[in-house]
Amino acid sequence: MNQARPLPHYLVQRYQGWRATAFNENRAWYRRLAEDGQRPRAMVIACCDSRVHVTAIFGADSGEFFVHRNIANLVPPYSPDGEQHGTSAAVEYAVNALKVAHVVVLGHTNCGGVQGCHAMCSGAAPELEEKTSFVGRWMDILRPGYERVSSLPEDAQIRALERQAVLVSLENLMSFPFVRDKVEAGDLSLHGVLHDIGEGTLTHYEPASDSFVPVA
């Protein structure tokens, strides 16, 4: 692989700073993690967006969360068709191998993936309709959510679609037999959360009211 290059200097400096401080101050903890393996209590499925700092939001340390990130924090429906499915594999590993007690779908405001889905489904982004568009084919997962909000006033559709990205993912999680079995047995709980980047707030989905309410 002749195209690979050394890390940029600024990343090397940050690594050196981390190892000299955070790592050295917690060397025993990191050694324990290495020797004993991981035992996270929760899996968090979040967006790739660099503004969503999953561990900082919840004050988590190394070893606490099994984190999977993708465009628009989406979970595809259960479809064991022999193709490669990174998100489905991560869910399977978290639930069956790590036996997490919680799966949290963490959406966020101003999501570029959600905006792209809205543009594609409304006919404003024909390039995403191309079969060769990886982003477009991934955002097909959210098409059912777009159909639910397409009758809303245009200025409300994207914010509503951000919530749908969480809800569609929760619904799709329940299509996985091993997820459904553990939820019904009381061994696993699913959670839908929306993070407002600018305000720093969290709301979570409440089935009783079918709405997102502030995290108390």
> What is the spatial distance between Cα 209 and Cα 192, in angstroms, rounded to a whole number?
14
Using only C-alpha atoms, the chain has a radius of gyration, in whole angstroms, of 19
For the chain, helix (H) and strand (E) counts, in that order, are 10, 6
> What is the spatial distance between Cα 90 and Cα 95, in angstroms, rounded to a whole number?
9
Q: Nearest Cα to 181, choosing from 102, 95, 103?
A: 95
Q: Are 36 and 47 in contact (CB under 8 A)?
A: no
Q: Nearest Cα to 106, choosing from 63, 166, 55, 53?
A: 166
Binding-site residue set: 47, 49, 108, 111
Binding-site residue set for Zn(2+): 47, 49, 108, 111
Question: Which tokens belong to 85?
Answer: 């499915």
> What is the spatial distance between Cα 66 and Cα 76, in angstroms, rounded to a whole number?
18
